[in-house]
Amino acid sequence: METPVLSVLVVGATGKVGKELVSLLVADGIKPRIFQRASSKNAFKDTDLEVVSGDLADKESLKAALEGINTVFMITRDQLDQAFLEGNLIEAAVEQGVEKIIKSSAFAAGLNPPKGYGEIHRQTELKLIQSGLRWVILRPYFFMQNFLELSGEIGKSGILPMPLAKAKVGIIDARDVALVAFHAIKSHTFDNQCYQLTGPNSLTMKECSEIFGQELNKKIRYLSPPYWLASLMMRRQGISSWDIRMRKQLFGMIKSGGEEKLTSCVKQITGKDPYSLADFIKTYQTDFL
């Protein structure tokens, strides 16, 4: 059977970027294959999409998932063995004749030296660049969707807690990252390039709290707790010591102005302006009520 012109495997299809990308592909008439952990529930059981279960640590299951695939979108959970797992996927892709991988990375991976989770992402980036495949690397800033983790504090308590002091951040909506990935899948124009992705505005968290207040029609206060208190709060939420250490490095980088500068990559690649924070809040308003 002849391989389709464009056959896509999405790794990380249930995350904030992956699920948006799947929707974009399906709307365009492309039915991606979904790769998920064998232990995960099938979030796509009510669709006609092909779901393949496996493990990124298991090269044989990866080879089976990549059969007949020529393009891969890869986004995985930040974890200690992330570079090993994504490296396995890259090696299997090479062996199976895949043509291109689009990796959702992190802005901090492009720093010299990389910071926080960026250290892990950079290892994968280098492996991908050296693989001989076509590649596209996306390095988004702080996601607007991260505010959803604080929906209770913002919506019910009227507080936006974030240890970023007065730092400005070019926060970005995950939907824009997905749209960039969609265009990278559809075209070779963007091959073998890294793109730093930002939203339309560089905002302090205080400015973000004011926008939340305007859109939710209630007063939202910004609190910047000292890092020892933020760490304590994260430990109580069950966040691992490794994650807390990585976040500390990232918060420090952001506080030093690391994610303040805006880029025009989203508009250049997609042809549309990126979503504003107000747009984001309008879409997810019920989550903050």
Model pLDDT, residue 2: 39
Mean pLDDT to the nearest integer, 115-132: 96
User: Over the stretch 24-42, which tens digit does the pLDDT of each residue have?
Assistant: 999 999 999 999 987 788 8
pTM: 0.94
Q: Where are the beta strands (DSSP E) in 141-198?
A: 159-161, 193-197
Quote the CA–CA distance of 119 and 276 in Å, as a whole number.
Answer: 29
Write the pLDDT tens digit of every residue in 125-175.
Answer: 999 999 999 999 999 999 999 999 999 999 999 999 999 999 999 999 999
Q: What is the pLDDT of residues 231-260, one digit of tens each?
A: 888 888 888 999 999 989 999 999 999 999
Q: 14 lies in which domain range? A: 8-140+174-197+263-270
Does residue 275 belong to any structural domain of this protein? no
pLDDT at residue 4, as a whole number: 46
Long-range contacts of 27-31 (CB under 8 A, 24+ apart): 28/182, 28/186, 30/6
Q: pLDDT tens, 56-88?
A: 999 999 999 999 999 999 999 999 999 999 999
Q: Which residues contact 224 (CB under 8 A, 6 or more apart)?
A: 161, 162, 163, 164, 165, 205
Domain count, the chain: 1
Provide the pLDDT for residue 5.
Answer: 66
In a domain, 229, yes or no: no
How confident is the model at residue 161, as a pLDDT?
94
Q: Is position 22 within any domain?
A: yes
- CATH number for position 106: 3.40.50.720
Q: Which residue has the tokens 């880029």?
A: 263
Assess if residue 205 is contained within a domain: no
Residue 240 lies in a domain: no
Q: Is 108 inside a domain boundary?
A: yes
| Omega prior to 113 cis, within 30 of 0 | yes
